[in-house]
Structure formats: C-alpha cells, structure tokens
Structure 1
Amino acid sequence: MIWEGSSVVRALTLAGCPLHELLDRQIPKLARQLVRGFAEQIPVYRRLPQEELDGDITAITEHNLRLISRVFRDGSPPARHDLTPLRESAARRAQEGVPLEALLAAYHLGARLVCERLFERAGPGDLDDVLAANRVILLYMEAATAAVSTGYLEERESLLSLEQHAMHATVSALLGGDRAALAGVRLAPRYLVVAVGAGRHPDEVEAGGGVAGRRKSHRIRAALRRHVGEPVLDAFDATGGIVLVPVREAEPEAGELARVVGKAAGAEVWLAVECAPPQGVPAAARLVEEVLEVVRTFGQPPGAYRLADVLLEYQLTRSSEAMGLLAGLLDPLLDNPDLLRTLTAYLDTGLDRRRTAELLHVHPNTVDYRLRRVVSLTGLDPMDPAHLQRIGAALAARRFSEKGFGETGSGEKEASGKRLTGNR
C-alpha cells in the first residue's frame, strides 16, 4: 500500500504482484547478496571475520528487509521497538571499532541494491508505484539512520567515558606513585613528562572563552596523539597542565613537540620536559612544573625547556639569603631607571653596544656613558668577565623579586601544584 503519512491510498504492486510479497520471497537470498556487496564495496566490512558476516551482519540485514516489507504491506512507519535490533547492532559495531560512516554506508548501499533488485523488471505502467515505493524506502531510511546513529553514538560515548576514567586513573596513579593502582596496567618503559603552559587563543578573549578553551585543549590532545602515534596521558585544561608521553624507543624531540602543540593551540606555548621511568614520574612532574614556572617568571620566549636551559634562574628561585644580596647589588641604579634599563639591554644583546643603542633609541656614545655611570655607582664593570657573571645573577635576582615569585603563600603554591599534576 502507498504510505502517505498515516493514510492508505492503495496497494503497491509491480507487474500486478504486491511489492511486499515480491520482497518476502527473496529475503534470505537477498540478505546474503547484500552482505557480499558490503564486503566487496566497503573496506571495513572486508576485514570483518566471515563468521560475523554470515551471522550478525546477515541477521540484521534480514531484519531490515522484513521491516521494509512490512512498511510496504501495512503502509505505516516502523515502531520504536522494531528499530531496537538496529540500535543494538550499531552498538556492537561501535564496540568493534567499525566507523559510523562505514556503518551508514552499508545501510545506504543496501537500500540502493534493494531498489535495483526490486525494480529491475519494472515497466512503464509501474512508474507511479515505483516512485511511491522509493519514497517509502527513503522514509524508512530516515528512521533507520536515526536509530543506527543513536545506538552507535550512545555506545561510543559510554566507551569513551570508560576510557577517560581509566586514563585519568592511570595519570593520577603515575603522578602519585601509587604502585598498587598501577597493578595490571601496561606502562611504557619511560615517559616524557611535559608541563604545558598555554597562552590564550584569540577566541578565548571573546564571550565564548570557555568553549574556545575546551576546543583548544582538544586540539592539543589530538595533535599530540597524531605526532606521537599513540594515546598520551594528560591532566591539563585550557591554561596548561601535565602530559605524559609514552617513550618506547626514541624520545620525542622537545622542540618539535613545542612546535606541534603551539600550532594546535593557536597561541603561545611553553613546555618544560624531563624523561623518567614510571617510578620516577612523580619527581619528574614536580621538576618540570618548577622549571615551567621559572621559564614564565623570567619571561623566556615560547618553546621547550629543560632544567639545563635555566639552571641559573632555577637556582635563584631556591630560597636563600643570597637572593636579596644579589638583587641589592643593583640598588644604586634605582634612582636612575635609564641606567638599569641600559645595563639589562646590554647583557640581553650579548654586550653589543650598537644593538643596545638601537633598542633604546639612543646614540652608542650614550650607551658608553651610561655603562661608565653603572661602574661608578655599583663597582661592577660588565667588561670585566669576573664582574659579568655577578651582574647577570644580580639582574636575574632582581627580575625574580619583581615578578613576585615566592610571594605566594605555601598553601596557594601547593594548590597550584595540585592543579598542574591533576591531583584535584
């Protein structure tokens, strides 16, 4: 019968025979032919075990053909319970890792082949019924596609939730050194422990900053997974955190890792890295967090850093009586900010007076004059190699003090560390 909403117009026939009877006669044979077509034309199905093709796939194909036949016969759409087997079958494909697009391709290929088989002998007098039957099949496919997509995505979401839970449990156990929780977990021989500090993407400045931040985090995870070639363990948000990159052979090059993460983030990114075996991950995580904080406190440019890259700055952040004394060496320059600015630029340019002059927009002779004033006020001569190290340490100590590093209370610093390591 022609199905138009809920109205029955007349029986659908082909060469005088009801369409549903034509379909019923060949369901088992047609189902096997359709499944062979899936395996021939859809690569994923070609890789499925023959037992599964002959069993579950053929059974659900027969069920679909019977539903289409019933639609032809009754002139009414399939009920929700009729579509339950489609949802369940789609959930099993999700468990097996069959992509949703391959699953939907099989349904649409099946619908096309059914139409070709049913209507291959249709004559001019069957045109109206063939058009009506095609419309019925399209309406059926709408319902089937919705059921299949729902069943697949619900199962996939459940699986992802389990995977995420397992990943976070593994990250927490590794960072916390919980050997009991790691029993039975397949760990890499070593991990590249990475502290990530991410700047803000332009979209995060807008009203939808929260959404933009989550999208940035997702891009970073995906880029790391592609670059490394396997899942990484992470505990980070839009501003940064900890990533554990499995190292099974060669250690990933840190600079390239920073480039990949920066490109994915679309923002400035700082990485601090250290390689360690599983039992060394907690200590490595604490170290890279401290290195990252040093890197950002001292205004280092985006990129990848190890402890060796910031040894002086790192040591200056350790609490000691020497810190105040070092910073105080330059106190005589505080009444003349131009002198301190010139000395800083002179060291930053590698003792190049002309580049210093260009940066400060002054004449090179002015640079010479100011440096002589520095010597007379502090007794420290940047041209003297013995003094140069002390000046560099004094400038670093003053930067350290001005940034307020260490002014945070111990409780707040501890909370910050817990955020970075994911120990929420």
Structure 2
Amino acid sequence: MDRSAVVAKTVVSLRREAERVVDLVVDRIVAEIPSYAAVPRDRLRPGVAASVHDGIEFLVDGERLPVTADAAAVGADRAERGIPVEDVMHAYRIGVRTVWERFAREARRNDADPGEVLQLAERVWEWADGVMVRAAREHRRVDLETALDAQQRRGAFIRALLSGTLDRAGLHLQAAAFGLNADREYVPFRARGGGDARGIVTALVPYFPHTSPPVTLLDGDVAGLLARRPGERVPGDVVVGIGPSVRPADAVDAFDRASRALDTAARFGLSGVYDLSDLGLRSAVVTEDEVGTLLYERYLAPVQDLPDIERTVVTYLSGGMHVEDAARTLFIHPNTLRNRLRRFEEVTGADLRDHATLAELWWALAYQSLGDHPPRGG
C-alpha cells in the first residue's frame, strides 16, 4: 500500500530514534520477564535491535515478507538458555507494542489519517506473527534436539553402567548428573513385551526413582534401574526380569541376573515380574540345553508316537498324582489310567514312585515346552 506523506514523515522520525527504542524494549523485557534477567544485555540487544529495525523498515512499505533469519537465531539462542517459548513470544510482543506505541504517538502528533494508521497496525501485527512463528519453530526444534541429546547421553550412561564399561572413577559425578545417588541401592531390570518400549516405560513409571527414568534400549529390550521392585503384575502384556537391589557400582552382576530372569520367563511364555528365585529350576532348564536334551530322549522320545500315554502322564503329574482326579479329567476309567502309567514305565524304564525320576521327568517336560527338543517323527 502507498504511504501518505504524513506517515512517511512519521517513519523517518521513528528511524532517527530507533536505538533509543531498542534500549527501551530491552529494559521492558528484562523488567517484565524474569527468565530474561539472566541473559546478558550484549546477547539480548542484537536480537532486539534486528527485530526493531525490521519492524520500522516494514512500516516503510508494508509489503515486504517477514525477515526470518534473525528470528530463527533468537529462537535458538533463547532455547539454549532455557527460556520458555512463551516468554520468547512475550518478549516479541513487548517489542512490537513498544515500536507501535512510539509510531502511533508520532502519527497523532502529525495528524495522520486514523484509517491509514489502523490499516497499518493490522499489517504490522500480521508481519510480527510471521516473525514470532519462525522464532517459536526454531525454539522448539532446539528444545527437541536438547531433549534428545540428554536422552541419548542418559541412555549411553545406563548402557555403560549395566554392561560394566563405565569408568568407575567418575561414577559418583556421572550418576549425580543423571539424578542417581551412587550410595543408594536400585533394582536393575530388563523388560520386553507390551507392544513397544514406550508402553513398557509407562507401565513401570510408578517404580522409577524420579521423573526422568534411568532407562535405555538394549537389543530391543528396555533396561535400567528401578527405585523398588514392582508388584507381581504390571499393566499390559509385559515381562520384567529383575536383579537384586544394589548400588550403581555393583549393577553389572545384578543386571546379568535380571537378563537371565527375563529370558527364562519369556521362554516359558510368562508375563509379570520375576527374579531368578521366582523361576526356580526353569532358569537351569533354559541354560542347560544338553541336560534337557538327554532327559527328553530318556523320558519323552520313547513315547512320542504314544500321545495318550504322554498326555496321561502329564495330567497325572500336574494334578498331584491322584489317580481318580486325573482319570476324571481325562474322562477315562482309573484302571485305564493305571495301565497307561504302567505302560509309560515299561517303555521308558522310569519309576514314577521315585522322587529323582519325577524331578527328571519334570525337567524333560519343561524342556519340551520350550520347543527345543527334536521334532516329532524327526
């Protein structure tokens, strides 16, 4: 839009006092926004000066697109200094309001046309909105990068702590930097399931030591430290292996136990929270593959073509070795069940009254449930 001679004269007058306006804007920002008090004036003034001069130049023709480079730099700098984006927007509004107040006062003194001044005011705020959007976008980008960087550094620290590659000499300082007390005990854990890592972290939120969970991703699992052991169940289809409560410096062995507990529970299709003591011999079944193979071949391979015999033995053992109860479960006569048990003993050489045999048979059945045995008919 064309500017009248009066408005043009007013703009020229405003140009002459631009530096005083910059100082006024800086004073107002520091006075009104507490978060800006820590910003040195020599770092605050250049950004304010650029915005004030751009605003005045926009008053010249009102058609120029917003200058965004300085706004982006200002947004990034304020984010790095920890100034909230809301305060950055407040500072920009102070600047625009101050410039416009000086312009409007001078325009009235020069008897400028009120309609022209109002129309110019609308365009100025439209221009200012574009500048503020760019500053806010850059502020949020830096905020996100800073958060991601902090998360990555926390993750690297936790991985090093749990794997034993952390420099123990600086452990106290590094732990404190991530909100951990090196003299306090924590519960190492490893978890999977529940859909994704975020779901697992959400399920464990009540058990973390603070609001920034000391967790990381490790081979697809969520791993880290808890303030206390979770309850037996956690929301969702999540399985969690935990180790004993230890200080961060002693987390390696405890985390190894948590990993073994997780692997064991997951292999047996369990969900919930487990340490190795909860799983008993199951962990040995998982790790001692050779023993499992030998016991499978001793007790189960001979009856692989006799499914009724195997099903009868499993039902009998799982029901507490009560003949009548097992027979009712299988819908057979008790004598039929006794005959099948006797047949099993004949084929395998097992003695179902011998405790050692029963323990070995349990092991063979547990190993078979893992799916690691040779395929039937193979």
Same fold (TM over 0.5): yes
Closer, same or farther in 2 for the Cα pair 1:269/1:313, shift >3 Å? same
1:171 maps onto 2:163 in alignment? no
Rounded to whole Å, the distance in 1 between the matches of 2:326 and 2:119 is 82
1:310 maps onto 2:279 in alignment? yes
Which residue, out of 197, 201, 215, partners 2:192?
Answer: 197
**What SS is found at the alignment partner of 2:197?**
helix
Look up the equivalent residue of 2:127 and give its one-letter code: L
Which residue, out of 241, 265, 268, partners 2:221?
Answer: 241
**What SS is found at the alignment partner of 2:3?**
coil
Q: How does 1:385-396 map to 2 (within 5 A)?
A: 387=355, 391=358, 394-396=361-363
Which residue, out of 319, 330, 333, partners 2:288?
Answer: 319
**TM-score, normalising length: structure 1:** 0.64
Rounded to whole Å, the distance in 2 between the matches of 1:227 and 1:10 is 66
Q: How does 1:3-402 map to 2 (within 5 A)?
A: 9-11=2-4, 18=10, 21=13, 24=17, 27=21, 28-37=23-32, 39=33, 46=34, 48=35, 50-52=37-39, 56-57=43-44, 60-73=47-60, 75=62, 76-79=64-67, 83-84=69-70, 86-108=71-93, 111=96, 125-150=113-138, 152-156=139-143, 158-160=145-147, 162-180=149-167, 183=170, 185-187=173-175, 188-189=181-182, 190-198=185-193, 201=195, 216-218=196-198, 220-221=200-201, 228=208, 229-236=210-217, 240-245=220-225, 251-255=227-231, 259=234, 262=236, 268-274=237-243, 275-300=245-270, 302-319=271-288, 322-324=291-293, 326-327=295-296, 328-331=298-301, 333-341=303-311, 343-344=313-314, 365-366=331-332, 368=334, 371-379=337-345, 387=355, 391=358, 394-401=361-368
Look up the equivalent residue of 2:129 and give its one-letter code: M
Q: CA deviation at 1:313?
A: 0.7
Rounded to whole Å, the distance in 2 between the matches of 1:12 and 1:394 is 103
Q: CA deviation at 1:12?
A: 8.6
Q: How many residues align?
A: 352
Q: Which whole-Å deviations, capped at 9, do the CAs of 1:25-68 have from their partners, x for residues lacking one?
A: 7723354335544x3xxxxxx3x363538665566445423321
**TM-score, normalising length: structure 2:** 0.71
**Which has the higher mean CA deviation after the structures are superposed, 308-317 or 90-99?**
90-99
Point out where structure 1 has 5 or more consecutive residues left out of the alignment.
3-8, 40-45, 202-215, 263-267, 408-424
Closer, same or farther in 2 for the Cα pair 1:62/1:336, shift >3 Å? same
Structure 1 stretches (4+) deviating beyond 6 angstroms? 120-124, 349-357
Rounded to whole Å, the distance in 1 between the matches of 2:136 and 2:364 is 64
Q: Which structure ranks higher in relative contact order (CA pairs < 8 Å, sequence separation ≥ 6)?
A: 1
Q: CA deviation at 1:273?
A: 0.7
Q: Percent identity?
A: 20
**Contact 1:225 / 1:231 at 8 angstroms: preserved in 2?**
no
**Contact 2:189 / 2:223 at 8 angstroms: preserved in 1?**
yes
Rounded to whole Å, the distance in 1 between the matches of 2:88 and 2:202 is 24
Rg comparison, structure with higher value: 2
Rounded to whole Å, the distance in 2 between the matches of 1:222 and 1:363 is 42
Point out where structure 2 has 5 or more consecutive residues left out of the alignment.
176-180
Rounded to whole Å, the distance in 2 between the matches of 1:406 and 1:117 is 86
Q: Which whole-Å deviations, capped at 9, do the CAs of 1:228-263 have from their partners, x for residues lacking one?
A: 2243444426x8325122x6xxx323237x626x4x
**Contact 1:12 / 1:19 at 8 angstroms: preserved in 2?**
no
